Chains A and B, each alone.
Chain A
């Protein structure tokens, strides 16, 4: 009887159960607890006494603080309008017209994904700043034009550049999904082009459109890099948090502003999740892909539009590269690599650059391992529905958190030496991480966790549900199948996640600007600091280095993994 009892224990199930529990605990520790610490700081006074919403009342009664909320909303809404409009036209051209060189136009738009928003700001300074190329009329060649860059104008342009590729991505997917038969039906009933657009095209992409609006809004609302460079005296929430924490060392008000920033973001995030779920149910139906009809006039119009946008983007990157190579803008336009010699500059120079590479590499390795394994455990386990749902929810949560909020929450959480819980002092075992490379990597792992997790989940969903069952029936332990089947088949997705982590960790400034220590300077932070100090040319040069690194990594990845991707495609072709 005892023998029977022992044999009946499902060891595998318990290992999985424990591992999913660990996923929940890990996410609770690195997401929920720090967030809770941040929220609790927003309702106490400087002595740590609970004051309820007094801080918030103070916030909304102080115009200098409260104005930023309106400013943030204004620039985000404006950005969203421009970005979604331009993104829609561009995506429409890529998917619904006979535009030539589609791959080229697509690649150009996606180039912008590599550009840190700090670089967007800096490049705009070179174009429209006081001594900008356009402001000076191309060094006097034509009449100058001052657009009053510093303030909302600069922020909005930077954020449009930042959010445009995201809008193009989301809307291209939505536009591609439409069923050709609907258009044939509209045609057969003699609907005009405009009627078809209103009755077929728009309803077909409504979720994509809504999603792109929400995503652009969130990105613009929470971005820190561009407003830091071109915001001038125009205060917005993201720069306020930074000023409160770094400038005035007022951590309480920093927490309050973070909560004010967090609320609209979380609302937009929840709406986006609902919208995306609806979109998924739309894809499920069978559809016939649409073959765009030739329409000379329309095709030419969109070619001109896309050509213009591409020229602007290329001009934008060219300006950044040129400015980083010019000796003394705008007086001595001879080219040199002087600005790439960071020795005389603050910010850490090349050691910062290599720290960033190291940090991004670690973030890629750790982040990919954790996000893929978690996705596997949640997606490919049987039973324990509640635990899996909890783990899934916790995995989605980081997407709603702006980098600044993560950074500030981590300061509060990891800098605490002990917690007072009902009179008992509980020492913080994670306190030793503060000021180390580990906390930088951790903040990146969490900051970019959700997208990676969702990529992994999508890849895993494509695998037969019964792989695990079949292995179990043959008494093969699940981890063997994980290493021998699941991982090799998902390798392209795994590498994709790694690249995503690397590229974003290289460029991000928002979370790490609160967490880096003087011994571990970082490239993106150096850009912000050199820009602060007025060393805008070296800041530009460092940004160019970041972009180049990311482009090299991405292209190199494409070349190296070509074989792997081809092999996987062959495996999965039916």
Chain B
């Protein structure tokens, strides 16, 4: 019994091999993914990567050229949006300006042949749930951006959708309201247990809210995983640079398993970290995040330490970002960045043009095929 329920819950939404072109432009190239029941999946990517098209295909607003969409055991591939039972929140919210918050939320319930008292009860519950109590009689223009967002969300979940679709739901809001609503939407979604697809170009939004992230680029799904997996083990240089910051050191050559020659230096990389498929003596790109680049004044001569010159020191509030020029032998130099707490900068008395030893922890280096 429990196993059967489990089966139903995993892979609740299944999107298989979706292709979609607009004229000669291929917006989606063989995209597949699954979402478990109650999961929040964030589709992340730069503008034009196909993430909104993917959402519209799931919603039934665009017809895929090929591929299938399943929810539970229903094949929705050819269904129009009105028969898919999805709730949708747009970037603009699309609240009906001539209807009050209450009327907006009740809009979809009216056609469902519910009793008026039933509708009222449901709307009251939703207003309560989304912290809009007492604002039901206001028109959208009389509400703040955050409140409008909550009305739009309430309206979408009022009809008890199987899938909730959020298209850049927070991008029209101030930074502060955004941070607050991030948490609220996440809590509400978990409470209702509604399977949710959220499209965003904001990596922070995706990292903080999603159970899993799908990263898209040029119509292709390039990586999927938990926020932690995506950040710690980005599958490609694109993912690495799109989510957070990443330093790249090109022109590395693989010497042996876990040993790379960079100019006149040798860097060791522990664990697999993506280096397994690279053949010996072939080119590779090493990558490391700024927060993992260490400055160690007294540990010259240790493994994975290279002397670098401080190019620039940029104040960033809680920390400094230090620009470092890394000599690789001859005239070749590579610029990398290191994030350091303010306290460390003053303790080590770091200033521009100083030459300091820089340490690349072996377990923090990632390797990509050149």
Contact = CB atoms under 8 A, between A and B. Distances in A.
A473 B81 CA distance: 5
B98 interface: yes
A473 B156 CA distance: 9
Given A382-B61, A573-B141, A472 B94 contact: no
Given A12-B80, A475-B82, A571-B139, A470 B97 contact: no
Interface in B87-101: 87-88, 90, 92, 94, 96-99
A382 B61 CA distance: 9
A22 to B, nearest CB: 21
A570 B94 contact: no
Residue among B61, B82, B112 facing the most chain A CB atoms (10 A cut-off):
B82
B139 A472 contact: no
Nearest to A573: B141
A467 interface: yes
Interface in B311-327: none
Contacts of A382: 61
A568 B139 CA distance: 11
Interface string A471-487: 11111110010001100
A464 interface: yes
Contact of A570 (B78, B90, B141): B141
A488 interface: yes
A472 B80 contact: yes
A88 B88 CA distance: 50
Nearest to A473: B88
B159 interface: yes
A466 B90 contact: yes
Interface in A452-503: 464-467, 469-477, 480, 484-485, 488-489
Interface stretch (A3-11, A108-116, A209-217): A3-11
A76 to B, nearest CB: 44
B91 to A, nearest CB: 9
Given A472-B81, A473-B86, A467 B111 contact: no
A171 B140 CA distance: 36
Contacts of B82: 10, 12, 472-473, 475
A344 interface: no
Interface string B86-122: 1110101010111100000001101110000000000
Interface SS of chain A: helix
B284 interface: no
Contacts of A296: none
A464 B94 contact: yes
A469 B139 contact: no
Contacts, number: 85
A485 B99 contact: yes
Contacts of A574: 141
A13 interface: yes
A488 B111 contact: no
Nearest to B103: A484
B59 interface: yes
Interface residues of B, number: 32
A567 to B, nearest CB: 8
A470 B94 contact: yes
B103 to A, nearest CB: 9
Given A474-B111, A477-B111, A571 B97 contact: yes
A280 interface: no
B107 A469 contact: no
A475 to B, nearest CB: 5
Nearest to B112: A475
Nearest to A12: B82
A4 B96 CA distance: 32
A518 interface: no
A467 B96 contact: yes
B83 interface: yes
Contacts of A473: 59, 81-82, 84, 86-88, 156, 161
A474 B97 CA distance: 17
B79 interface: yes
B100 to A, nearest CB: 11
B75 interface: yes
Contacts of A484: 96, 99
Contacts of B99: 484-485
A12 B161 CA distance: 20
Contact of A474 (B61, B98, B159): B159
A476 B98 CA distance: 17
A572 interface: yes
Interface in B54-84: 59, 61, 75, 78-84
Instruction: Assign chain A's interface to a size class.
Output: 20 to 34
Given A4-B75, A475-B108, A570-B139, A13 B94 contact: no
Contact of B79 (A7, A465, A572): A7
Given A8-B78, A571-B141, A474 B108 contact: yes
B94 A469 contact: yes
Most-contacted residue by chain A among B59, B88, B140, B156 (CB, 10 A): B88
Max chain A C-beta neighbours (<10 A), residue from B94, B99, B140, B156 = B94
A7 B96 CA distance: 28
B92 A489 contact: no
Contacts of B156: 473
Interface string A1-44: 00010011010110000000000000000000000000000000
Contacts of A480: 111
B52 to A, nearest CB: 12
A469 B141 contact: no
Given A469-B90, A571-B141, A7 B108 contact: no
Interface string A531-574: 00000000000000000000000000000000000001011111
Interface string A366-396: 0000000000000000100000000000000
A8 B79 contact: yes
A464 B83 contact: no
B114 to A, nearest CB: 13
Contact of A469 (B81, B83, B140, B161): B81
Nearest to A8: B78
B78 A470 contact: no
Given A12-B82, A472-B82, A473-B87, A572 B111 contact: no
Contacts of B61: 382, 469
B79 A469 contact: no
Contact of A471 (B98, B107, B139): B107
A471 B61 CA distance: 12
Nearest to A475: B82
Interface string A326-352: 000000000000000000000000000
B141 to A, nearest CB: 5
A480 B59 CA distance: 21
Contacts of B139: 570-571
Contacts of A7: 79, 83
Contacts of A477: 111
Given A466-B94, A485-B99, A475 B88 contact: no
Given A13-B80, A464-B92, 14 more contacts: A8-B78, A8-B79, A469-B81, A469-B88, A470-B90, A473-B81, A474-B87, A475-B159, A476-B111, A484-B96, A488-B98, A489-B98, A571-B141, A572-B141
6 contacts: A473-B81, A473-B84, A475-B111, A570-B141, A572-B97, A573-B141
Closest 7 CB pairs of A and B: A474-B108, A10-B80, A466-B94, A571-B97, A8-B78, A464-B94, A473-B88
